[in-house]
Amino acid sequence: DITAIQRNSQHLARLVNDVLDLSQVEAGRMALSREWAAIPAILDEAMEGVRSLFELKGLYLQAELPADLPLAFCDRLRIRQVVINLLSNAGRLTERGGVTVRACAADDCVSITVTDTGPGIAPDHLARMFEPFMQVDSSIRRRHEGSGLGLAISKHFIEMHGGRMWLESEVDVGTTVGFSLPAGAPEQFQLASASSDARRWFSPYSAHEYRARTRRFAAPTLPVVPRYVLLDQGDALVRLFARYLDDVEAVPVRNTANALAELNRSPAQALVINSASGHHLPTDETGSLPFGTPTITCWVPGEKEAAGVLGATRYLIKPISSQALLGALEGLGTGIKQLLLVDDEQEVLRLLTRMLTPAGNRYRVLWATSGQQALDLMRTRQPDAVLLDLIMPGIDGFQVLQEARADPALRDIPVIIISSRDPKGDPIVSDTLTISRAGGLSVQDLLACIQTVSETLLPDARLADPAPPGIPAS
């Protein structure tokens, strides 16, 4: 049932998002984006988001709001999320009647309450309702969806604003969940009264007085994406950035001239050079780097370098296309007639054979399902090239390459590695990191670099604070 699959996947996605929100809040990594916001507008948006749930169940959803509510200095998105959580809980648990949203202002605070006509909560459960994953009882949990995280997350969000959340309930009558927000800005956002010394900056002929902005600045805020220029003869750095760094612009270049042109065209966080020899830009070129762009030199091996280390001709990473496979074979020359395909899975061997179909009858294909069988066929049939998987039981692809290099009769047979094992997936991809900047580093810059790099690489720190489960230690 496609509908059931979609419903369950959406429920799982919401659960994952709730867990991520809670973990970020508890780790202190959740930041608020505060602005002056009108509470009625936030409540209207939240109510529209859940109205279909109430209409489907035949429940009323109404608001009782005074016309003179003050603005609140809050994160509009998070407060709307809190109200949606409260309305969703009330709508799921209420079978008759409906929900009323109220708001009032008192003592420099704005209070919002959500009252339902649901079954209510027993007094012995009230104290635990804000605990993560808390649900009233097993019968409710079976009958109604919910992760039990909504109230816990909402309470955290409200307390981050300097407010508080409370819950009142009576069995068979209903439940009220409320929260309060400071109506004024926090002290660090308030403008101190102008002293007599500051008044000289204001015209005595103007009747205008300072008024705090009550709405977000209308000009669009453009996101700033970190930009790196990658000087690399291959694609190792580009693939590394694409795999591990999100929301980063990586600009690959092949030579120094193109790197300088890119840096002059648009500023970058750094120029990253991939060099096995620790190659640096010449001093005269380093001095011409614009905007004081730092240079970072490291060594990240690509497929070509990995193939050379293993004694192979090419290194292809699964999944590969027929075009890439045929291109690699054509790069070996025109004398390739007989191919030996080595993989412990026959499905992969059949797939590789089909991928050679566009070449017509150009290649005669042999199969080997183990490393030992591959070595035997290499000695007896002398294939013109070998397509080799690395990970196999018994004698694996690494041992096949090692024995082939040691045997004069086999060492000249070109080997193309076809493996799902990415050489950049090794625990260590670079043993050198050099940082330089035109004009040098100030004492503060130098100490900041030393502290940052040492904290990242310090072995004792990693031992004292082991990696979380699921993340392999380096």
pLDDT of residue 324: 87
- Sole residue written with tokens 């505060």: 34
pLDDT of residue 63: 93
Q: How far, in Å, CA of 140 to CA of 161, rounded?
A: 31
With residue 73 as reference, give the H or E element that holds it. Answer: strand 72-74
Q: How many other C-beta atoms lie within 10 A of the C-beta of residue 123?
A: 10
Please report which confidence band the pLDDT of residue 18 belongs to, taking 50, 70 and 90 as the band edges. low
pLDDT digit string (tens) for 269-312?
Answer: 999 998 866 556 655 555 577 777 888 988 777 777 778 878 89
Q: How far, in Å, CA of 362 to CA of 384, rounded?
A: 12
pLDDT of residue 470: 42
On average, the pLDDT of the chain sits at 79
Which residues are bridge partners to 178 per DSSP?
113, 166
With residue 50 as reference, give the H or E element that holds it. Answer: helix 39-57
Joined together, the tokens standing for residue 163 give 């407010």
Residue 64's identity, in one-letter code, is E
Q: How far, in Å, CA of 153 to CA of 19, rounded?
A: 9
Q: Does domain 313-424 have CATH number 3.50.50.60?
A: no
126-160: b (≥16 Cβ within 10 Å) or e: eeebbeeeebbeeeeeeeeebbbbbbbbbbbbbeb
pLDDT at 464 over 60: no
pLDDT digit string (tens) for 340-350?
Answer: 999 998 888 99
Please answer whether residues 241 and 250 qualify as being in contact, where contact means their C-beta atoms are separated by less than 8 angstroms.
yes
pLDDT of residue 76: 87
Q: How far, in Å, CA of 415 to CA of 272, rounded?
A: 32
**All structural domains of the chain with their residue ranges:** 31-182, 227-300+433-458, 313-424
- Strands 72-74 and 35-37: what pairing? antiparallel
pLDDT digit string (tens) for 366-422?
Answer: 999 999 999 999 999 999 999 999 888 889 898 999 999 999 999 999 999 988 766
φ/ψ of 360, rounded to 5, equals: 70, -140
The highest-level CATH class for domain 227-300+433-458 is alpha beta
φ/ψ of 468, rounded to 5, equals: -60, 155
Question: 31-182 and 227-300+433-458 share one CATH topology?
Answer: no
Please answer whether residues 271 and 289 qualify as being in contact, where contact means their C-beta atoms are separated by less than 8 angstroms.
yes
Joined together, the tokens standing for residue 236 give 């190792």
The highest-level CATH class for domain 31-182 is alpha beta
